């Protein structure tokens, strides 16, 4: 992607806003990208702003290390973000060096707080661009505290492989309705058909213009995120509950089986998107805005899917901001929430009912430890081990299967990457 000077400053100013939102924990990139100032940009500028912000966040560790060597002390946040933008443009977005420097100096001059630092921005970026590009050592790509956790959980070699995926821009994965012609769609979209039936699409641009979108033939869903619903193996006519359902990819999967699906999420705003996707795909589910742990409903279900609130550290391929927004204390507090919702889910299962628990987290407290604590608390529940021969239909890489019969899906275990997920399946005794 080559961008010249005449792309102008509005996109770069918008990118600064996105980066600041991501690094100051003010809602993250997606929320900032829906704000008025961002929406008023031309589509091309909007795409460039997002690409810039993503490039900064995917390479933040190496960029900051290179900048630290040129700075005697940290400048104000806006100035630091301008320096990061300049480095990302030159090293990762093929912007010519002169344009990366000139636009960064102009950005500094456009705001009275950063105006006194125009000379510093010019000198630091020129110095940086005379050096070799910043190291892409995977150990620098994740925040140090998170990388240490991954090393402790998975070992040094695996932690390096996981972290190396941070720098890679992912393809778009699609889940298809059972009635879809996967081969014809793969041809139309120039896509690869993955195990489990997901399509992996390399094309860019607005998905709403892709073949099959208007017909409701498919929806966007990472290949790893599509695995848990397949493990539940919902049947036509079964009563199925999708807890913490938004944004709704798993709800659509469950509804497509012919099951009677109830989708519960505490966010009415996010459920609106679930309802829109159900309408677009001509699938049906009952949509309920309620706290999954405290939902006041006496119904019991044949099968329940719980995609619990979590630290989301496994989603860094599309959301690198999660790495820099997360804090060590988040994991323990979220694990307590997960335990509460798990207990609530178990109480809503019929005897012999099935429960799949999953999180898009790489942290053991939210996965493996959660399973053991749940089984210790709930003698009425038993682990239903996932078997190796389920891999082709469920779509998980064999390397993801643990000795305990749970799944630890790591980002590097699939060619081209996948989201990090943990999944476990249980059955209610009786």
| Residues recognised as catalytic | 360
CA gap 107, 101 in Å, rounded: 10
Parallel, antiparallel, or unpaired: how do β-strands 286-289 and 260-265 relate? parallel
246 CA to centre of own chain: 13
User: Is residue 271 within 8 Å of residue 287, measured between CB atoms?
Assistant: yes
Query: What is the side-by-side strand order in the sheet with 199-201?
Result: 191-193, 199-201, 172-176, 218-220
User: Is residue 232 within 8 Å of residue 356, measured between CB atoms?
Assistant: yes
Q: Following DSSP, what letter does each residue of 402-414 receive, concatenated?
A: -TTS-EEE-GGGS
User: Is residue 183 within 8 Å of residue 212, measured between CB atoms?
Assistant: no
CA gap 411, 168 in Å, rounded: 11
Picking from 360, 367, 304, 306, the residue whose alpha carbon sits closest to that of residue 335 is 367
CA gap 46, 37 in Å, rounded: 10
């Amino acid at each position: 992607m080559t961008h010249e000077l005449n792309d102008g400053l509005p996109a770069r100013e918008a990118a600064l806003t996105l980066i600041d939102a991501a690094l100051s924990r003010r809602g993250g990139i997606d929320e900032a990208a829906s704000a008025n100032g961002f929406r008023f940009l031309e589509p091309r500028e909007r795409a460039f702003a997002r690409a810039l912000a993503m490039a900064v966040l995917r390479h933040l560790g190496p960029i900051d290390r290179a900048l630290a060597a040129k700075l005697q002390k940290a400048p104000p946040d806006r100035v630091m973000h301008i320096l990061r933008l300049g480095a990302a443009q030159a090293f990762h977005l093929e912007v010519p060096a002169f344009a990366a420097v000139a636009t960064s100096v102009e950005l500094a001059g456009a705001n009275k707080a950063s105006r006194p630092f125009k000379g510093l921005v010019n000198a630091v970026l020129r110095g940086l661009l005379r050096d070799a590009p910043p190291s892409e050592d995977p150990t620098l790509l994740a925040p140090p505290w998170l990388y240490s956790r991954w090393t402790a959980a998975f070992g040094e070699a695996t932690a390096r492989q996981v972290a190396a995926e941070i720098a890679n821009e992912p393809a778009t994965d699609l889940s298809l309705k059972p009635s879809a012609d996967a081969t014809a769609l793969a041809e139309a979209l120039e896509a690869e058909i993955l195990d489990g039936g997901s399509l992996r699409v390399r094309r860019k641009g607005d998905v709403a213009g892709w073949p099959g979108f208007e017909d409701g033939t498919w929806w966007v869903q990472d290949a790893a995120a599509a695995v848990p619903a397949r493990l539940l193996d919902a049947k036509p006519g079964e009563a199925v509950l999708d807890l913490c359902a938004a944004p709704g990819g798993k709800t659509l999967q469950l509804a497509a089986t012919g099951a009677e699906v109830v989708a519960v999420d505490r966010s009415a705003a996010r459920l609106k998107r679930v309802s829109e996707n159900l309408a677009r795909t001509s699938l049906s589910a009952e949509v309920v805005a309620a706290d999954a742990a405290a939902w006041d409903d006496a119904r019991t279900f044949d099968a329940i899917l719980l995609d619990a609130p979590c630290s989301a550290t496994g989603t860094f391929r599309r959301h690198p901001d999660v790495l820099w927004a997360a804090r060590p204390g988040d994991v323990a507090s979220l694990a307590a929430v997960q335990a509460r919702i798990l207990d609530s889910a178990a109480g809503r299962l019929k005897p012999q009912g099935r429960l799949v628990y999953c999180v898009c987290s790489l942290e053991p407290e939210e996965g493996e430890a959660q399973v053991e604590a749940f089984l210790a608390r709930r003698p009425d529940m038993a682990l239903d081990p996932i078997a190796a021969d389920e891999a082709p239909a469920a779509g998980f890489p064999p390397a993801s299967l643990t000795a305990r019969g749970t799944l630890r899906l790591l980002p590097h275990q699939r060619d081209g990457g996948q989201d990090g997920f943990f999944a476990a399946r249980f059955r209610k005794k009786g």
